[in-house]
A and B are shown apart, each in its own frame.
Chain A
């Protein structure tokens, strides 16, 4: 306990300076990092929506429950995380990218993922930003990202619609066969019987009802398949309606971002200073030979501790 008291005493002796160092050093490092940060923010905004024909074709349930903007945002997260997307964007932006070494390409992809930010604005708008100290490069890169995202969205829609069309075509074929079988059964049952007799025949009436239901289902599913094919063929032509740039990439006013390296350096400094201070307190408590409590005198020298007096300015 006397040892713990010794360390606490050292800590509280220097507490003011320790706290000042703990606050001042990280704050200074953060401020210097923010002030010396020459990077600029290139921002663009795009409008996203889902094709209206999809809903007419009964394909609305193929999409997520989120908003068009959140779907595009989630897709961009996945795309940026993939190497082929990053390679495509960087190849289009930096001509020398393909000639870089593998390690350099990894570093560039890592920088892209670190500096590229995106967020939804409302239901339909997706904001894409890139932090760089070369604005022209930033504009080109954001434009490249938008193009690649647009292609990916279109490809995504095409894939989903094609799958739906294939399912519907298969369903139409089955419905046509079922309808044809029902009609054949009616014809076969009615052959050789007088029309007046079959009209009163209950089994004949049942076959007719089945044939009519099969025909109705076939007509319905065939119509849905036609709508889906129409939507599939219309995807390239309605691209602008579902994904278009509303604000072209441009340099936007710089804002303090708490995810920037400045904050990272400050937090690292905070942790480092805290660890160094704890170490200093430990070493000072260990090496300081001066008396700091009566208890340690009692324990180390065996002299009873009888009390203490307060500090006097003129103690002799």
Chain B
């Protein structure tokens, strides 16, 4: 218990230290950051608005916490939804939001925000380097923790180190909201474990690509007590809206 508390405070310290580089200083001075998040590719206002609406429908009780964004397979819009959700939270709550890319095998947030993936989370754990967070977004309240560079064989071990090191507790202490971009639930063994540590889960399925069967298997991996909602991405249904209203 004591070791866990120390680990959590270690993560908290690292996160806060990483984020402090660009925070306003006393006297109105702002330390110029070395790098900033770019404009996320393709995430327009409508997309972020839809993520905001989805989060409102999912979360009616939490005022802060860790939201996991998961999907059964790759290329189902999970990374974009996680980014859109983090942007919406940073804009609406006017509080610090951490977006953590936990898909260590195929990181995607770095390229989405046009920043290098390394050094990142795995480098911090493995090499004991300085934790790197890249700030940006509305009011510079969004912080991206990239996945870093990892050997695929080391991923499961790193994830367990992450959980044992009270990473989630540190996130809750350092940031009001944390959004996790999880690996695919049906393709990686660690995704379900990570989803179980979050406070709520957003299950993502792509319109006309994800199968109902895959969603069923993926939802079975998420602990039942976690508030879970389904978000359908790439909805390009051509059914006229007036018919949808009738139905």
Contacts and interface: CB of A to CB of B under 8 A. Distances in A.
Interface in A277-316: 289-294, 296-298, 300-301, 303-316
Nearest to B222: A303
A4 interface: yes
A294 B230 contact: yes
Interface stretch (B26-34, B45-53, B130-138): B45-53
Contacts of A297: 205, 212, 215, 230, 232
Main secondary structure of the interface of B (DSSP, over half): mixed
A47 to B, nearest CB: 61
B77 A4 contact: no
Contacts of A1: 247
Contact of B236 (A291, A293, A310): A310
Interface stretch (A7-15, A51-59, A268-276): A7-15
Main secondary structure of the interface of A (DSSP, over half): mixed
B77 A5 contact: no
Nearest to A313: B42
Contacts, number: 143
Interface string B223-244: 0000011111111111110011
A271 B43 CA distance: 46
Contacts of A313: 42
A12 B247 CA distance: 15
Interface in B57-82: 57-58, 75-81
B84 to A, nearest CB: 7
Nearest to A2: B247
Given A307-B53, A308-B50, A289 B232 contact: no
Given A8-B239, A292-B237, A297-B205, A307 B211 contact: no
Contacts of B219: 301, 303
Contact of A307 (B206, B210, B231, B247): B231
Contact of B229 (A4, A304, A309): A304
B202 interface: yes
B124 interface: no
Contacts of A311: 207, 234-236
B211 A289 contact: yes
Nearest to B228: A303
Contacts of A294: 230-232
A306 B238 contact: no
B208 A301 contact: no
A272 to B, nearest CB: 25
Interface string A75-113: 000000000000000000000000000000000000000
A8 B241 CA distance: 12
Nearest to B57: A306
Contacts of A291: 205-212, 215, 232
Interface centre among B203, B211, B231, B232 (most CB of A within 10 A): B232
B213 interface: yes
B170 interface: no
Nearest to A8: B239
Contact of A316 (B50, B108, B209): B108
B112 interface: yes
A4 B50 contact: no
Contacts of B127: none
B210 A12 contact: no
A292 B235 CA distance: 8
A306 B42 contact: no
A313 B215 CA distance: 23
A293 B237 CA distance: 9
A312 B78 CA distance: 12
Interface string B125-157: 000000000000000000000000000000000
A312 B215 contact: no
A289 B208 CA distance: 9
B115 interface: no
Contact of A300 (B209, B212, B237): B212
Interface in B4-42: 41-42
B243 A315 contact: no
B50 A12 contact: no
Given A1-B247, A15-B238, A297-B205, A315 B230 contact: no
A9 B208 CA distance: 10
A251 B61 CA distance: 88
Interface in A147-181: none
21 contacts: A8-B239, A8-B247, A12-B237, A12-B238, A290-B210, A290-B212, A291-B206, A291-B212, A292-B237, A300-B212, A303-B203, A303-B219, A304-B58, A305-B232, A307-B53, A308-B54, A308-B232, A309-B54, A309-B81, A310-B46, A311-B235
Given A308-B207, A309-B50, 10 more contacts: A5-B247, A9-B239, A12-B238, A291-B207, A301-B219, A303-B230, A312-B233, A315-B42, A315-B234, A316-B108
Interface of B: 41-43, 46-47, 50-51, 53-55, 57-58, 75-81, 84, 108, 112, 202-203, 205-213, 215-216, 219, 228-240, 243-244, 247
Interface of A: 1, 4-5, 8-9, 12-13, 15, 289-294, 296-298, 300-301, 303-316
